[in-house]
Chains A and B, each alone.
Chain A
Amino acid sequence: LTRIAGVPEQLRASATVMSASAPELELAAAALAAAPLPEMPAGVAASVMATLREAAETLHAEAGRAQREGLELKRRGLWLEAAGVAFEVWNKGIFIRGMAAGPLDALDLVSRRRAADLFKVWANYEKRVIPFVNEHGEESEAAALRKLFFYARNEDRLKTYDRYRLMVDEAGDLDRYEEASGVPLAAVRELAGKWLGPIGAIGGIVEMIHPEHGGAEGIGDRASGAAAAVGGGLSTYTTIVGLETAGAMIPGVDVIAGTLLLASAGWEAYTHRKAIAHAVVEGGSFLIHHPAILAGPLAPPVAAAQEAWDHRKDIAHGLVSAGEFGEHRAEDAAHLASSGFHKLKSLFG
């Protein structure tokens, strides 16, 4: 990995001084070359003349070098400045994105805790109540009393009778518990989408200019960046004017955006395949219920994209626990995957 760092102002100041030195050196070279020589002993004259000639030639050559390197320093300073501006935009984008993603993370955490809580209660129910119901019959008085005692004992965790009913009706299904956790995720995501779209576009453009990897992976990053930029831009546009209007105004825009987004999602999934696999292993039961994600780029793309979106938080948390990438990278992948999937879904019915 090549690290390039510098202070643009310092480079520019040095460039100015260096370029300004060139004419001074040229002037000195000309003065030495044309210096009037007095009468002097032959040996001294030869030595002095040789010195003056060599000094003039050297100064002329070094004036050229000062001019060249001054220009180079100036150009490097400008590049660094441009990179600094892009980095600042990127950082601001990430910060704002983090701010927008914060409520989602908090709500997801709440929903996961509620779901996990119900799952634990179900484990107890399965152990303490179900054998009793099986033994005495569902409608028996003994079973009803057993259920009542169980509810009373777990009242602080079940909160309401509705939650108790939900726990029993969904019979220990963690995903269903999470869906029914009562957290208004859909509404918050709708709101966050309006913010994340333009930020995704900026991030995508930065990724195109400064790919994270070199070589073939760098090309992938650029493609991913382009897709994110298109996706972010389209997302913003459709948020404002609606997808139908966008499609009507720019024929084929859906197909292009959908294809790009899906390709990008595939690339992201491939790049982060180890972290995803780690997240899956950490997830435990998730592995059994959702094997398609394990296959990564080999899985049917639409199914993989859907699963990535459905379990974006698992992936994100897995990435953090693996300590390899930031959570936002997985979020980006999930976001792209989801956008691509929904665009295609709307196209193909």
Chain B
Amino acid sequence: VGVQLPQVIGDPAGMRALATALRSTAAQIEGVDAAVYGKAGCLSFTGPAATRIASEVRGWHGSISGVVTSLQGAAALLERSASDVEAEQIARARLQAKLDEEAREPR
């Protein structure tokens, strides 16, 4: 009776595709942030409303930058995990093949 190793869970290709999509979205959002903050972040505008708006714009920029960073972090995690899963799947396949061969050999 042959030994069946457990499957390594994960779809490396799908994970890499998602990572690419996340990086693309992050770049798109970063572009929007640069366009907005490049203009609204350096307004020649003074007064109480100007102070409030400047604070809102800074908050907005901080929040959007945070999203970009977390999306890039998730993409990096997915890419690392995809490589790990891929390596484990190859290792499992080799081991399984070896085990299958041993099981087939006459004693």
Contact = CB atoms under 8 A, between A and B. Distances in A.
Contacts, number: 135
B25 A31 contact: yes
Contact of A69 (B14, B17, B47, B53): B53
Nearest to A68: B56
A35 B20 CA distance: 12
Contact of B32 (A25, A47, A58, A76): A25
Contacts of B39: 10, 13-14, 17-18
A88 interface: no
A32 B25 contact: yes
Contacts of B87: none
B78 A28 contact: no
Contact of A2 (B14, B36, B47, B70): B47
Interface in B43-80: 43-50, 53, 56-57, 59-60, 63-64, 66-67, 70-71, 73-74, 77-78
A207 B72 CA distance: 56
A44 B67 contact: no
30 contacts: A4-B47, A4-B50, A5-B44, A6-B43, A6-B44, A6-B45, A10-B44, A11-B43, A14-B36, A14-B39, A17-B39, A18-B57, A21-B32, A24-B28, A28-B28, A32-B25, A36-B18, A37-B18, A38-B17, A38-B18, A42-B9, A52-B74, A58-B63, A58-B66, A62-B63, A62-B67, A65-B60, A66-B60, A69-B40, A76-B50
Given A36-B18, A40-B10, A62-B60, 17 more contacts: A2-B47, A2-B48, A5-B46, A6-B47, A17-B40, A18-B39, A31-B25, A38-B11, A38-B14, A38-B18, A39-B9, A41-B9, A44-B10, A44-B15, A48-B74, A55-B71, A76-B45
